[in-house]
């Protein structure tokens, strides 16, 4: 059996790769594995289950709830809420397990199952591996041990989660948003009710787009993967800024008053300075990835803030933050983690904190984001090569060294094997975009000849 769990749960085309049977079986397996690990010891286990508005989430939620209840777990259904809300409620309600049904920024036909451990934290890798093994063991014939009578799980709807999560968001804001106008693009996703309500309660004047989910339109031409609608709306309405979420609202990208994109690196730069000023930037450090823009690194150096860079993926950012006690980290994609207030990336929280900084300083978002200059970044994918030889090819090493000498201190080269495909990603940054394109093209040619 191939790996079911990827870097962000189990994901695939709903009712093709991710079936009701798989969702049910994984839920039962998760209950058994957590029971074996002692998570349920001494009490009746509970789980929080939420979803984004995809049509397939309706039957997958039913399957997950059935699986958990059949394994003796009491279930609180919180309905359509963002991934970070489900993580928060898992912790706030003292649940043993959280389950979110979403495929995040993926197109509507996809869906996914993501598990949270007690406290709302991502399940440890070893538990995911064990869930896979137990699922496969029982899928091929070994019957489950099933409770009967009063031992089966009970299922209730927990409608208070909506207000509880919003109260949490408002409660951690450093200041209100009175006097600023914000356009919100909800990607027809999980934050379509939550985010507008939170911004309005915080005092902002809001204009909302992409907030009419019908089960089929999630991420369709809107949200953080399609900023064009938001950029036009911010200019049209004369707003101070725009905020875009993805389907499950664990990401946030922004748009300034002129309609220009403000990406995750720029948001991190703005929040890092705000948190340092408030004495909240522990160890004077922010965590990014190796794909963080060089302009972000140079800006943090200039401001006297340390930057720790991890492998690509918010899970690696989070691991570094938890291991070293850092307070802020994230990715260019808008996955921003404020660890004192969230156990995962929280797009609504990030947007609120960014807007709060605009309101508190009286400065424009463009001015605040101007703390860093985003250097042109060219990414070329080179397919059908032996990616395992990236670090051992002498010809490639020489070419990279030559490119680095040419670019100097204001440029950067990164060669990264794809985790899932037989290709190598060539990334080049430089102050001049034409130079970046030329260097990236030359390196891509060397990758083809050296590793082809």
**CA–CA separation, 397 and 411 (whole Å):** 17
Answer for the pair 169, 145: CB distance below 8 angstroms, yes or no.
Answer: no
Closest-CA residue to 216 (of 100, 55, 15): 55
Alpha helices, DSSP H, located in 71-193: 83-92, 125-139, 161-172
The single residue listed with the structure tokens 């409620």 is 89
Residue 344: alpha-carbon gap to chain centroid: 7
246 appears as a binding residue in the annotation? yes
Number of helices (H) and strands (E) in the chain: give both, helices first. Answer: 14, 18
Active site residue 27: no
Q: Is 309 exposed, middle or buried (0-12, 13-18, 19+ CB in 10 A)?
A: middle
The 3-state DSSP class for residue 99 equals strand
Give me the catalytic one of 56, 102, 104, 292. Answer: 104
**CA–CA separation, 317 and 234 (whole Å):** 31
The 3-state DSSP class for residue 427 equals strand
250 appears as a binding residue in the annotation? yes
The single residue listed with the structure tokens 């950067």 is 412
Distance in Å from the first CA to the final CA of the chain: 29
Strand runs labelled E in 108-154: 110-117
The 3-state DSSP class for residue 381 equals strand
Cβ contacts of residue 79 below 8 Å, gap of 6+? 50, 51, 157, 159, 161, 162
Strand runs labelled E in 204-345: 205-209, 241-244, 253-256, 261-262, 285-289, 306-310, 328-330, 336-338
Q: How many other C-beta atoms are found inside a 10 Å radius of the C-beta of residue 51?
A: 26
Six-digit token string for 185? 């693009």
Closest-CA residue to 369 (of 220, 224, 250, 258): 258
Q: Which helix (H) or strand (E) holds 238?
A: none
List the binding residues for Mg(2+).
104, 246, 248, 250
Which residue numbers are catalytic? 104
Q: Could you list the residues known to form a binding site, using ranges.
A: 104, 246, 248, 250
């Amino acid at each position: 059996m191939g790996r079911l769990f990827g870097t962000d749960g189990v994901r695939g085309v709903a009712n093709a790769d991710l079936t009701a049977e798989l969702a049910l079986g994984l839920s039962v397996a998760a209950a058994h594995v957590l029971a074996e690990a002692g998570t349920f010891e001494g009490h009746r286990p509970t789980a929080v289950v939420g979803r984004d508005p995809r049509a397939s989430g309706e039957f997958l939620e039913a399957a997950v709830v059935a699986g958990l209840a059949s394994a003796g777990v009491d279930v609180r259904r919180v309905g359509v809420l963002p991934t970070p809300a489900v993580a928060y409620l898992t912790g706030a309600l003292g649940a043993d397990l959280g389950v979110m049904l979403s495929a995040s920024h993926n197109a509507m036909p996809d869906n996914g199952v993501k598990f949270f451990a007690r406290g709302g934290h991502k399940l440890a890798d070893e538990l995911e591996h064990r869930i896979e093994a137990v699922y496969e063991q029982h899928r091929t014939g070994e019957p489950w041990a099933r409770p009967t009578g009063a031992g089966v799980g009970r299922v209730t709807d927990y409608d208070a989660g909506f207000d509880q999560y919003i109260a949490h968001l408002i409660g951690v804001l450093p200041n209100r948003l009175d006097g600023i106008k914000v356009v919100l693009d909800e990607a027809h996703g999980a934050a379509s009710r939550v985010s507008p309500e939170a911004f309005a309660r915080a005092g902002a004047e809001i204009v909302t787009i992409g907030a009419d989910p019908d089960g089929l339109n999630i991420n369709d031409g809107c949200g953080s993967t399609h900023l064009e609608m938001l950029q036009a709306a911010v200019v049209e309405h004369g707003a101070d800024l725009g905020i875009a979420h993805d389907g499950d609202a664990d990401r946030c990208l922004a748009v300034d008053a002129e309609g220009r994109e403000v990406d995750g690196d720029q948001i991190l730069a703005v929040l890092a300075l705000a948190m340092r000023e408030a004495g909240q930037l522990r160890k004077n450090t922010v965590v990014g990835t190796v794909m963080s823009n060089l302009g972000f690194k140079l800006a943090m150096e200039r401001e006297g803030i340390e930057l720790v860079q991890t492998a690509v993926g918010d899970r690696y950012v989070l691991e570094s933050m938890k291991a070293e006690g850092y307070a802020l980290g994230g990715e260019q994609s808008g996955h921003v983690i404020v660890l004192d207030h969230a156990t995962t990336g929280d797009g609504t929280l990030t947007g609120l904190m960014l807007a709060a900084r605009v309101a508190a300083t009286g400065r424009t978002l463009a001015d605040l984001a101007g703390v860093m200059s985003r250097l042109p970044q060219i990414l070329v994918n080179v397919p059908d090569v032996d990616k395992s030889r990236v670090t051992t090819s002498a010809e490639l090493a020489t070419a990279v060294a030559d490119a680095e000498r040419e670019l100097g201190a204001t440029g950067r080269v990164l060669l990264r094997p794809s985790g899932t495909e037989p290709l190598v990603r060539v990334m080049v940054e430089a102050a001049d975009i034409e130079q970046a394109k030329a260097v990236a093209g030359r390196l891509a040619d060397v990758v083809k000849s050296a590793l082809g």
